[in-house]
Amino acid sequence: MAAYTENMTTGSEARHIIKFTLPLLAGNLFQQLYNIVDSAIVGKHLGADALAAVGATGSMTFLFYTLCIGLSIGAGILVAQSFGAGKKREVKVLIINAAYAAVIFGAAISVISFLLAGPLLKMMNTPENLYADAVKYMKIACSGTIAVAVYNWINAVMRALGDARTPLIFLIVASVINVVLDIVFVMVLDFGVAGAAYATIIAQSISAVGCIIYAFAKVKYFRFGRKTLKFAPNYFFKVVRTGVPIALQNSMISVSMIYLQRTANSFGETVMAAYTATMRVEQLIHQPFSSLNAALSTFAGQNMGTGKLDRTVKGYHKTMQIMAGFGVFMLIVFMIFSRNIVGIFVNEADVIDIGGRALKLSAMFYVPLGTIHVTRGLLNGAGDVGYAMINGFVEVIGRIGFAILLVNIPSMGYWAVWGTTCLTWVLTALMSLIRYKQGKWKNKVLIETNS
């Protein structure tokens, strides 16, 4: 496993983007597979109530994790731009100050989320029979937020340097360790839902430490001198300013998804089951798009850092072509196999009927969905992170606004749920394209370029 960095400022744009996307996609799909296995272990061994208790914490833990994820993305953008510009010392200073930000914010969020776990789950009307297990799981999971922060920091930095392969290897290591610890803690030692939480935190901690040790041993940008190890307030706060808008974007999207889930719940168990099945499929569909997002973000960061605007635009156009090809391919697949795909998750004929038709509807809007991901990748990589909050706000307005509007149209019925999703994708894609066409992102580079 040779360590490497990759300069994306020369050579074929499409080759760089595809080469970088593939390990990201493999990692994302592997993580989705792990999530399925993790849920199966909890659900099969501890029962449906335990699985529901863990699920009840999902939206809240994500809200806390997302700040750390946003900070790591912000750090990655800055590192990519400095790396592309050939500013070796600045890269090192950014890496270490991003680490300080990850540890400080991770520790603070760990304490805050631990203390708020109970009140927040009460506020979400968590059923009384699930409450104790949900609080236990959330307290453990959230107290390990510092591990999540460090894990995302090292992954973001390695990818910003052009290395998507090493994070993939350590992601696979984390997932395997997690499954093994799930079996030991949940099935052998009978730790209950606490065992599943401990397994996740320990696995991410081990993977983060392993990746850090590897980076320090093999990557020259992790060889710090006394000066580069110093806390530098200007770089520290630059990481924070860059990452927070992205974190808030993710948080707002999460809130809007919670609202749409409540809308689906109002139509009864059959629609809830169909919505859950289609959401699981949608999570898989998001993975190629989000991988292209991350690849283009690194590509744009490096090229904008060195002042290569034309090359950045070419990379965006080629990524859009790749995305559109995948979107059309998946449309064809779902038009033919939608009922079979939903049938993987459920057995009930009425659920399969609704879910199958819903997948066909959603598939017609995968190109707008992909447009959101790809354009976000360009804008973030170029440094236009302030738009992230606007983009997140658009999604919130779309999901809540369209849901309220469509639910009150009698002929829509439960199709208001999927109609809301599709219309939100179109609205957000249009806003993203408008931002791209305005060209403001061209002057948002966060470092001094070499142009």
What is 156-185 written as a DSSP string?
Answer: HHHHHTT--HHHHHHHHHHHHHHHHHHIII
**Residue 26 in contact with residue 164, Cβ under 8 Å?**
no
Average pLDDT over residues 191-206: 87
Strands (E), 254-350: none
Strands (E), 140-261: none
Which residues are within 8 A (CB) of 400 and not within 5 positions of it... i.e. 6 or more apart? 256, 259
pLDDT classification of 176: cutoffs 50, 70, 90 = confident
pLDDT classification of 360: cutoffs 50, 70, 90 = very high
449 has pLDDT over 70: no
For the entire predicted model, the pTM comes to 0.80
Q: What is the pLDDT of residue 2?
A: 44
Distance CA(244)–CA(185), nearest Å, equals 35
**Residue 107 in contact with residue 162, Cβ under 8 Å?**
no
**Residue 355 in contact with residue 271, Cβ under 8 Å?**
no
Of 136-150, 336-350, 361-375, highest mean pLDDT: 361-375
Please give the structure tokens belonging to residue 328.
């059309």
Please give the structure tokens belonging to residue 8.
């994306």
Q: How high is the mean pLDDT of the chain? A: 85
pLDDT classification of 186: cutoffs 50, 70, 90 = confident
Of 126-140, 145-159, 245-259, highest mean pLDDT: 145-159
Average pLDDT over residues 386-414: 89
440 has pLDDT over 80: yes
The amino acid at 37: V
**Residue 96 in contact with residue 228, Cβ under 8 Å?**
yes
